[in-house]
Amino acid sequence: MSEILSPEQLEAALRDIGARRYHNLHPFHRRLHGGQCARDEVRAWALNRYCYQAAIPIKDATVMTRMPDAGLRREWRRRIVDHDGNAPGEGGIARWLRLTEGLGFDTAYVESMRGILPATRFAVDAYVRFCADRSLLEAIASSLTELFSPQIIGERLSGMLAHYDFVSPETMAYFTMRPPQAAQDSAFALAYVLEHARTAEQQQACLDALTFKTNVLWVQLDALWHAYVDGHIPPGAWRPQTGEGLR
């Protein structure tokens, strides 16, 4: 049986997973941030990523149903408001739609999710299901990829604004708002995991949950590359050549 890690060792092991497996290492992100993506590749990325964004508050509502403690729910519900806002047109999802709109998409088409890659759907569904089926501790640990997101978002914002004339600070506003929210959310989730993962089994389950989540993010980029860089677009997914979904 493996040894129980100290909180410091557990944190180091979690951060090591990020260093080795987070999607900033994926070649699609290098291409996106480095300015090598064609406009349709950026469009495909934003379209597919909408599916992830739209599922996050559903995931967080699912996590909240597992929380017996009002204090914990009060903390967690902020995540839902961050994405949904308190009124139409506010919040992260609305800001994401400003990006897809700025890239030329019809918003109703994006919201319909008709053109989403099957792998995106499967990965996103797997994340929501994971948070429904596993322990609360594992569900919270699976959100810890957000420890690593402020850095990638910073690289994305500066890289994309420098390289692409079809995005602007206004259409990329999602990424200006997100890092402080992610830092606050992940600090809370990390403190929770370090406090509650006491046995070696629980600690290993948290490490596995974070590994699972890095895979959720990674396969979405694999699928984008296969479809839109290599040109193997699956049946039913968005086809740039047809003008489908574009205004």
CB of 142 to ligand PQQ, least distance (A): 7
Site string for ligand PQQ, 90-129 (x = CB under 6 A): ----------------------------------------
Stretch near ligand PQQ under the rule CB under 6 A, chosen from 32-40, 109-117, 138-146, 223-231: 138-146
Q: Which of 152, 190, 221, 227 binds ligand PQQ (CB under 6 A)?
A: 152
Stretch near ligand PQQ under the rule CB under 6 A, chosen from 7-15, 35-43, 98-106, 144-152: 144-152
Regarding 143 and contact with ligand PQQ (CB under 6 A), the answer is yes
CB of 153 to ligand PQQ, least distance (A): 5
The SS3 of residue 105 is strand
Closest C-alpha to 230, from 53, 44, 24, 20: 44
Q: How many residues bind ligand PQQ (CB under 6 A)?
A: 9
Q: Please answer whether residues 113 and 192 qualify as being in contact, where contact means their C-beta atoms are separated by less than 8 angstroms.
A: no
Tokens of 204: 């290993």
CB of 1 to ligand PQQ, least distance (A): 30
Q: Which of 62, 100, 145, 203 binds ligand PQQ (CB under 6 A)?
A: 145
Nearer of residues 51 and 153 to ligand PQQ, judged by Cβ = 153
Closest C-alpha to 137, from 200, 193, 78, 65: 193
> What residues between 44 and 63 interact with ligand PQQ by CB under 6 A?
56
Q: Which of 178, 223, 224, 228 binds ligand PQQ (CB under 6 A)?
A: 178
Tokens of 224: 């984008």
Residues with Cβ within 8 Å of residue 67, at least 6 apart in sequence? 73, 76, 136
Q: Which of 41, 84, 138, 146 binds ligand PQQ (CB under 6 A)?
A: 146
Closest C-alpha to 84, from 42, 50, 54, 115: 54
- C-alpha span between 187 and 23 (Å, rounded): 20
* Burial (Cβ within 10 Å: 0-12, 13-18, ≥19) of residue 241: exposed
- Measured from each CB, the residue nearest to ligand PQQ is 145
- C-alpha span between 167 and 240 (Å, rounded): 18
Strand partners, 246: 105
Tokens of 132: 């429904």
Stretch near ligand PQQ under the rule CB under 6 A, chosen from 8-16, 34-42, 133-141, 146-154: 146-154
Closest C-alpha to 135, from 77, 78, 205: 205
Q: Which of 48, 62, 120, 149 binds ligand PQQ (CB under 6 A)?
A: 149
Residues that bind ligand PQQ (CB under 6 A): 56, 143, 145-146, 149, 152-153, 178, 217
